[in-house]
Amino acid sequence: MADKSATLTYDNKTIELPVLEGSVGPEVIDIRKLYGQTGAFTYDPGYKSTGSCESALTYIDGDEGILLHRGYPIGQLAEQSNFMEVSYLLLNGELPSKTELDDFSYTISRHTMLHEQLSTFYRGFRRDAHPMAIMCGVVGALSAFYHDSTDISDPEQRKIASHRLIAKMPTIAAMAYKYSVGQPFLYPDNSLSYTGNFLRMTFGVPAEQYEVVPAVEKAMDRIFILHADHEQNASTSTVRLAGSSGANPFACIAAGIACLWGPAHGSANEAALNMLREIGTPDKIPHYIERAKDKNDPFRLMGFGHRVYKNYDPRATVMQKTVREVFDALKVNDPLFETALRLEEMALSDDYFKEKKLFPNVDFYSGVILSAIGFPTTMFTALFALARTVGWVAQWNEMISDPGQVIGRPRQLYTGPTARDYVPVEKR
Ligand code: ACO
């Protein structure tokens, strides 16, 4: 029994509910025995007050704008680390030694190729298919190709599946892009970094030597770090729920990709850039701010607001800085960045956004950078999925390794008809 408890009085009965304490952050009231003791469920659609699991991976304090991976602040990781190191950290709990990092990077590079037959799989899609549609299909199909890493009760197979997913995602995403533009697929080049290899597979062509621009490689790598994990968000919870039934990891990550695709989640980066393009010039901003505030207008400022952050999303801070670095390196000056800065400034000084604590989130600036690098908007969410795969996989592993893991099975507040007798069709 925990030291602290909460008392609940319900239906003339008083029960004590244990209060559990994490290493930091809000305490949780443990209601696991509530139904057995009272016959009542809790009700929390959207899980606004619900902790769904125990996790040691990522901590967010949304009021303070803090994001930590295994205790390390996202700003420090984005500035000083790299995506391979952050991936190791998320998977293993500690930063790697130099040898551990070299070994890990080497292992990942040895899994970057896709089964050759998968390239024929791509040809079954229409050329104008959304890359996320292709990602859902191809990642789900991996379970048909890698049977030797689908036994989730074997830690070694889980590790291999995790490495395969992290390693193959850039190849899968780059091939989705290549297919859409009708260019030949490029095989991975393991002499390049994880991120450099992805850029080459996406933008290189067989006829020419592709030169990775270091500033772009660094910016892309940082974008991957910023998207690597984010606690129990919708897609991560989807992966956990799918995995809780014992489904194989490839199927679970495909489920995560499906969830990420939604405009309220990972597709907001695509929607944010489309919105900036629609707004166009700063003089149109007031009109769109008014629309965002109008309850009768479905328009929202995309890339603004967050379920957890009621302060500036710390990832947006890094993202804004990265825009300037990429623009300098590529000598571009997209006027949409000025529009974005002005929109942020005007929204943050508006009472509606202040009162509702709506700040730019990670997606607000990422589209401007990705567009400058050369990605079409349809690829934005695919890049997010690529980067988030390590988080999904780490969360999935954490769940499967937990000896107390059970299938996730929420209940409901039923509002349909009560029991009634079937009426044959001729009597209706
Ligand atoms: N523009 C205008 N108003 C907004 C916005 C916005 N972007 N976001 C929230 N609001 C308003 C809502 O209308 C609501 O107003 P009300 O209290 O008068 O009804 C209030 O703020 C609270 O919003 P909810 O939607 O209830 O908050 P929730 O936590 O459920 O949603 C969400 C968070 C989905 C991110 C929301 O802010 C949103 O739709 N933002 C735009 C999409 C976006 O950028 N998503 C990316 C999230 S980050 C990520 O997934 C990586």
pLDDT tens per residue, range 354-390: 999 999 999 899 999 999 999 999 999 999 999 999 9
- Within a domain: 14: yes
Q: What is the pLDDT of residue 194?
A: 98
Q: What is the pLDDT of residue 2?
A: 63
Residue 304 dihedral angles phi and psi, to the nearest 5°: -125, 140
Q: What is the pLDDT of residue 332?
A: 87
Pocket of ligand 1 (CB under 6 A): 264-266, 268, 292, 300-307, 356, 358, 361-363
Can 306 be counted among the known catalytic residues?
Answer: yes
Residue with CA closest to ligand 1 atom 15: 356
Residue with CA closest to ligand 1 atom 19: 295
Q: What is the pLDDT of residue 263?
A: 87
Q: What is the pLDDT of residue 333?
A: 84
Tokens of 114: 């896709």
- Within a domain: 51: yes
Residue with CA closest to ligand 1 atom 36: 305
Mutate to test the pocket of ligand 1, among 304, 357, 380 (most ligand atoms within 8 A of CB): 304
Residue with CA closest to ligand 1 atom 30: 307
Residue with CA closest to ligand 1 atom 17: 356
HSE (CB half, 13 Å, CA atoms) of 418?
0
Residue with CA closest to ligand 1 atom 18: 295
Ligand 1 atom nearest residue 233's Cα: 50
Give distance in angstroms: CA of 314 to centre of ligand 1.
17
For residue 268, the one-letter residue type is A
Give distance in angstroms: CA of 303 to centre of ligand 1.
9
Distance CA 342, CA 280 (A): 11
Residues 6+ apart with CB under 8 A from 27: 4, 19, 20, 21
The whole-number average pLDDT for the span 46-71 is 96
Catalytic residue among 163, 306, 313, 402: 306
In CATH, what number is assigned to the domain containing residue 29? 2.20.28.60
Tokens of 294: 């109008």
- Asked if the model's pLDDT at residue 83 lies above 90, the reply is yes
* Domain extent for 42: 5-61
The mean predicted confidence, pLDDT, of the chain is 95
- Within a domain: 179: no
Give distance in angstroms: CA of 296 to centre of ligand 1.
15
Mutate to test the pocket of ligand 1, among 307, 359, 370, 384 (most ligand atoms within 8 A of CB): 307
Catalytic residue among 221, 229, 313, 363: 363
Confidence of residue 1 (pLDDT cuts 50, 70, 90): low
Q: What is the pLDDT of residue 388?
A: 98
Gyration radius of the chain's alpha carbons: 23
- Measured from the Cβ of residue 208, the count of other Cβ atoms closer than 10 Å reads 7
HSE (CB half, 13 Å, CA atoms) of 358?
22
Ligand 1 atom nearest residue 306's Cα: 35
The whole-number average pLDDT for the span 219-242 is 97
Distance CA 389, CA 48 (A): 24
Mutate to test the pocket of ligand 1, among 358, 362, 365, 383 (most ligand atoms within 8 A of CB): 358
- Within a domain: 69: no
- Within a domain: 41: yes
Residue % of the chain over a pLDDT of 70 = 100
Q: What is the pLDDT of residue 267?
A: 85
- Within a domain: 18: yes
- Asked if the model's pLDDT at residue 46 lies above 80, the reply is yes
Q: What is the pLDDT of residue 85?
A: 98
- Within a domain: 19: yes
Give distance in angstroms: CA of 341 to centre of ligand 1.
19
- Number of domains making up the chain: 1
Give distance in angstroms: CA of 307 to centre of ligand 1.
7
- Within a domain: 141: no
Q: Give the pLDDT confidence of 282-320 residue by residue, as tens digits.
A: 999 999 999 999 999 999 999 999 999 999 999 999 998
For residue 133, the one-letter residue type is A
- Asked if the model's pLDDT at residue 268 lies above 90, the reply is no
The whole-number average pLDDT for the span 82-95 is 98
